[in-house]
Amino acid sequence: MTMNADEKSESATDPQTGAGARRDFLLKAGSVCAGCALAGVPVAAGLRVVTHPVTGGGAAAVGGEAPFLPVTTLDSLPEDGSPAKFMIRADKSDAWSRFPNQVIGAAFLRRVGERGVQAFNVVCPHLGCAVEFREPNRDYFCPCHNSAFELESGTQEANSPSARGLDSLETQVDDSGNVLVQFQNFVMGIKEKRPV
């Protein structure tokens, strides 16, 4: 096979400058880099699938505000201001599946005034046991370290090993009387109330 004059001039190496050899080297290097980049796409996608269930999903946006979740109705809460315990439910998801209406925690709710609702996370801020409402004492009680918390403020009593009182949660009551709670968990064992 014969090469025309143009082909000869493109592939030939100029003995003075080495331009032809340099051009061939750059073309080959470019091809290798493009191949590496294309090969990296499925690898990255695979890593994403493997790691996503660890980092994604859940009821609350990571790094964002927790959503207000419907929990009950105002009518269902005792009129005398006694707390009632409710499971908190939300849809959860991971990379492969959605799990609707899953229990993600629990809270004590009680009426405050005409249309107000106070909420506390049931998790003891000391080491995470579940607190109970003690009707005779009208307070919350953690059985793990015999620790009591005031009913109205959630403040820990003097002998409590907990560094802070019960964790209050934001609530809303809509026009239809539905009670919504902004459910969150908080770091245990520290004085500061810091969302997990």
Instruction: Report the interface residues with ligand FES, using CB under 6 A.
Output: 124, 126-127, 129, 142, 144-145, 147, 161-162
CB nearer ligand FES, residue 107 or residue 117: 107
Q: Looking at the DSSP assignment, which residues form a beta bridge with residue 139?
A: 134, 150
> What's the token pair of residue 59?
């009821």
13 contact partners, CB below 8 Å, separation of at least 6 = 19, 20, 21
Give min distance, CB of 123 to ligand FES, in A. 9
Judged by beta carbon, residue 148 or residue 180, the one nearer ligand FES is 148
Strands (E), 34-115: 68-73, 84-93, 98-112
In whole angstroms, the minimum distance from the beta carbon of 131 to ligand FES comes to: 7
Q: Which is nearer to ligand FES, 125 or 179 (CB)?
A: 125
Q: Which of 185, 126, 196 is nearest to 157 (CA)?
A: 126
Q: Toward ligand FES, which CB reaches closer, 180 or 188?
A: 188
- Kindly state the smallest distance separating residue 127's Cβ from ligand FES, in Å: 4
| Residue 165 to residue 150: CA distance in whole angstroms | 8
